[in-house]
Amino acid sequence: METFVVIGLGRFGSAVAEELCALGHQVLAIDTDEKAVQRMADKVTQAVVGDCQDPEVLQMLGVKNMDGAVVAFSSDIGTSVLITLNLKELNIPRIVCKARNHSHREVLRRIGADQVVFPEHESGRNLARTLANREILNYIELTERYGIVKLKVPTPWVGKTLRDLNVRVTYQVNIIAIQSGDGAIQPVPEPDHVFRPGDLIFTLGNNESNERILALE
């Protein structure tokens, strides 16, 4: 079990805080909006009203002892940056921030944010990829060049094994999981797995390599 502070209880921050708590972690949720705090009071370990632009508020709440922090709003760039700086001063091991745009992301990275996310932007890009190719059942972008694709096993692969196909060498992708027709999932599948009709595969590779797999259909 780890301890986290989530600052900003809009839709994104509330979802992060609630899910972390559901996963068994201790979560301190903070916002300046009393109504937002009240909505989260029964869903996290502790929810408080506070202005995290003030370093003394963070000190008083014991934030320096947290394993991780999430700055979960991006509407006010200046406030986001100041709070991130305050968290860096407390030596929080991991700080994740939500960014409004690319410039905001660059500033957050330069002042020491360990991870910067664009929830709406990333969701939109992933959805666009699934809409643009009907063979893609799901897409998770890892970087601008690399991603994980969930798709039906290509017809030419049916009846063959991973060893037969030598997928990693031939296609420059890794098959990180296989879901059979009954829904069972094999993480890190064995080389002797025989592909069957109805199998779903999860490929990890760069965009060009993933595209080559999709073209097999």
Residue 19's CATH number: 3.40.50.720
Asked if residue 144 and residue 102 are part of one domain, the reply reads no
State the pLDDT confidence band at 80, using cuts at 50, 70 and 90: very high
In the predicted structure, residue 40 carries a pLDDT above the cut 80: yes
pLDDT at 176: 84
pLDDT of 187-200, one tens digit each? 888 888 899 998 88
The last residue of a domain, from among 61, 86, 117:
117
120 — pLDDT class (breaks 50, 70, 90): low
Exposed/middle/buried for residue 138 (C-beta within 10 Å: 0-12, 13-18, 19+): middle
pLDDT digits (tens, 9 = 90+) for 43-66: 999 999 999 999 999 999 999 999
Q: Which of 72, 96, 117 is the last residue of a domain?
A: 117
- 57 versus 176: the higher-pLDDT residue is 57
Residues 113 and 127 in one domain: no
Long-range contacts, stretch 57-63, CB < 8 angstroms, 24+ apart: 58/86, 58/87, 58/90, 59/90, 61/5, 61/28, 61/30, 62/28, 63/5, 63/28, 63/87, 63/90, 63/92
Q: Are residues 110 and 135 part of one domain? A: no
Side chain identity at 107, as an amino acid letter? V
94 with 192, same domain: the answer is no
pTM above 0.75, yes or no: no
pLDDT confidence bin for 121, thresholds 50/70/90:
low
Q: Quote the number of domains for the chain.
A: 2
Give the mean model confidence (pLDDT) for residues 167-188.
85
Are residues 34 and 92 located together in one domain of the fold?
yes
Check residue 135 and give its pLDDT. Answer: 46
Residue 146 structural domain: 122-215
Angle (nearest 5°) at CA 17 between 15 and 23: 100
State whether 7 and 113 are in the same domain.
yes
Q: Are residues 11 and 108 in the same domain?
A: yes
